[in-house]
Amino acid sequence: VSRVDRAFRRFQRTGDPDALAFVFDRVAPELARLAAHLAPQAAEDLVQDTFLFAIERVASFEPRGRVLP
């Protein structure tokens, strides 16, 4: 299990904003590169929407799942 996965699980269990910040710092650059490739004009919005989606649906995250494939 990666540090990112552990941090997201900690955020899921406790709502710890530092855990979410850790995940964001580690994942956002990769998401931004992908988003820039897919939709250059909306890359920032896509990254923000992805994290908003994850926050809003944190309870449905599968504990054995991975944050990144």
pLDDT in tens, 1-41: 899 999 999 999 999 999 999 999 999 999 999 999 999 99
- Which two tokens mark 26? 């580690």
pLDDT at residue 62 is higher than 90: no
pLDDT at residue 65 is higher than 90: no
The pLDDT value recorded for residue 38 is: 95
pLDDT at residue 69 is higher than 90: no
Q: Tell me the pTM.
A: 0.88
How confident is the model over 40-68, as a mean pLDDT?
92
Are 20 and 56 in contact, with CB atoms under 8 Å apart? no
